[in-house]
């Protein structure tokens, strides 16, 4: 090889390298997302919304590659190991999951798997630069829910009784349930009439619909005529009980009218899907404020009640709807302030430190 040929070859090689390097810099690889569902899809509004939000966003955005949606199932003792394996697989840059108990698990995994990042809905954790959490004002959502329960229970709707009792079947105890949802519902019902009692029963899992139906039947025998149900796949049992007894269910978290028209008479939406899409937008733009946590509520539009839904308008008497709307507007505008208690945020955050 003559000297000039050698120089030319080296120059060509260098150019090739430069072009390749430039291509790598210009064409960013999409962010690889894994969704970890701590439970099952299908009957759990917060999880279904998370999965749908991620799917929708990935479909129309090249910056995100939704690699997998993994259902971890109901055995919570398996979740830490499953999450660790999921994260250590090397298939994901970011893992999106949901619920308060996942905060501490994600922190544990971050310590063992370098570079992996987490976004968690329904959790509140500060100060980890690979973790971002979105929390919802469940006190506000539950307050509106309880207020409507009491209004319906004292209305002239068919089959309601004079007992000032409304009921909630819930899956298990956790901070958000014990410190926000139950007290918020109670406060809301008593805002309508201080004599109201919220009867609560724990299902003990998030799937046993047959047991949930029995629990709801027992509550109906005790005089409960309006139900809330926050127990995942167990919700179907509460619905059957209400249908069979001619009673009413209010739906928590998403739009439940079509599940049992005339039985589900109002829905109290927590827009997990919109929050998920917004977080993914910021992830892809590079503007997600890692290490921080946000609290979203009715003032920002993430908690709302569809007042124009035909299922609501055709089932709930106008006088009740008018009365509800006065308080609803006050909550949305912030005139009636139902804040998340700071101690609750501190407790949930502390569990991850």
Chain residues that interact with ligand RBF, rule: CB under 6 A: 38-39, 44-46, 76, 99-101, 122, 171, 174, 176, 206, 230, 232, 253, 270
Distance CA 58, CA 136 (A): 24
- Say if residues 98 and 314 touch (Cβ distance below 8 Å): no
Q: Phi and psi (nearest 5°) for 168?
A: -135, 130
Nearer of residues 171 and 256 to ligand RBF, judged by Cβ: 171
Tell me the closest approach of the beta carbon of residue 253 to ligand RBF, in angstroms: 5
CA distances from 158 to 13, 151, 153, 322 (A): 83, 13, 10, 19
Tell me the closest approach of the beta carbon of residue 128 to ligand RBF, in angstroms: 19
Nearer of residues 46 and 256 to ligand RBF, judged by Cβ: 46
Nearer of residues 95 and 157 to ligand RBF, judged by Cβ: 95
Nearer of residues 100 and 179 to ligand RBF, judged by Cβ: 100
Tell me the closest approach of the beta carbon of residue 141 to ligand RBF, in angstroms: 8
Tell me the closest approach of the beta carbon of residue 314 to ligand RBF, in angstroms: 26
- Say if residues 224 and 217 touch (Cβ distance below 8 Å): no
Nearer of residues 39 and 64 to ligand RBF, judged by Cβ: 39
Tell me the closest approach of the beta carbon of residue 351 to ligand RBF, in angstroms: 11
Nearer of residues 307 and 351 to ligand RBF, judged by Cβ: 351
Counted residue by residue, the chain has a size of 353
Tell me the closest approach of the beta carbon of residue 39 to ligand RBF, in angstroms: 3
Nearer of residues 41 and 84 to ligand RBF, judged by Cβ: 41
Q: Residue 229, exposed/middle/buried by CB under 10 A (0-12, 13-18, 19+)? A: buried
- Say if residues 292 and 71 touch (Cβ distance below 8 Å): no
* CA neighbor of 187 nearest in space, from 197, 202, 177: 197
Tell me the closest approach of the beta carbon of residue 188 to ligand RBF, in angstroms: 15
CA distances from 166 to 179, 223, 229, 303 (A): 18, 8, 11, 22
* CA neighbor of 302 nearest in space, from 338, 270, 263, 341: 270
Question: Residue 73 region, left (φ>0) first, then alpha (ψ -120 to 50), else beta?
Answer: left
């Amino acid at each position: 090889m003559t000297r000039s040929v050698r120089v030319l070859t080296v120059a060509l090689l260098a150019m090739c390298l430069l072009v390749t390097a430039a291509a790598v810099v210009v064409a960013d690889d999409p962010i690889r997302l894994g969704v970890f569902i701590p439970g099952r899809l299908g009957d759990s509004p917060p999880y279904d919304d998370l999965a749908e939000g991620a799917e929708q966003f990935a479909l129309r955005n090249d910056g995100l590659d939704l690699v997998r949606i993994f259902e971890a199932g109901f055995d919570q003792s398996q979740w830490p190991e499953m999450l660790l394996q999921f994260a250590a697989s090397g298939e994901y840059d970011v893992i999106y999951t949901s619920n308060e108990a996942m905060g501490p698990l994600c922190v544990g995994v971050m310590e063992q798997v370098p570079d992996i990042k987490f976004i968690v809905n329904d959790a509140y954790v500060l100060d980890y630069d690979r973790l971002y959490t979105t929390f919802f004002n469940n006190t506000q959502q539950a307050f509106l829910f309880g207020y409507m329960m009491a209004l319906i229970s004292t209305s002239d709707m068919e089959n309601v009784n004079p007992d000032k009792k409304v009921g909630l079947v819930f899956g298990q105890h956790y901070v958000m349930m014990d410190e926000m949802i139950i007290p918020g519902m109670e406060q809301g019902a008593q805002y309508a009439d201080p004599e109201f009692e919220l009867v609560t029963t724990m299902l003990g899992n998030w799937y046993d619909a047959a047991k949930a139906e029995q629990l709801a039947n027992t509550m109906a025998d005790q005089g409960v005529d309006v139900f809330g149900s926050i127990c995942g796949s167990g919700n179907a049992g509460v619905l059957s009980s209400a249908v069979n007894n001619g009673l009413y269910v209010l739906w928590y978290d998403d739009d439940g009218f079509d599940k049992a028209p005339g039985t589900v008479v109002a829905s109290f939406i927590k827009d997990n899907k919109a929050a998920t899409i917004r977080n993914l937008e910021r992830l892809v733009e590079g503007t997600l404020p890692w290490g921080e946590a946000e609290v979203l509520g009715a003032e920002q539009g993430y908690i709302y009640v569809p007042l124009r839904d035909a299922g609501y308008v055709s089932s709930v008497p106008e006088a009740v709807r008018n009365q509800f709307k006065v308080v609803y507007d006050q909550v949305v505008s912030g005139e009636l302030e139902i804040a998340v208690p700071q101690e609750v945020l501190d407790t949930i955050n502390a569990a991850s430190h």
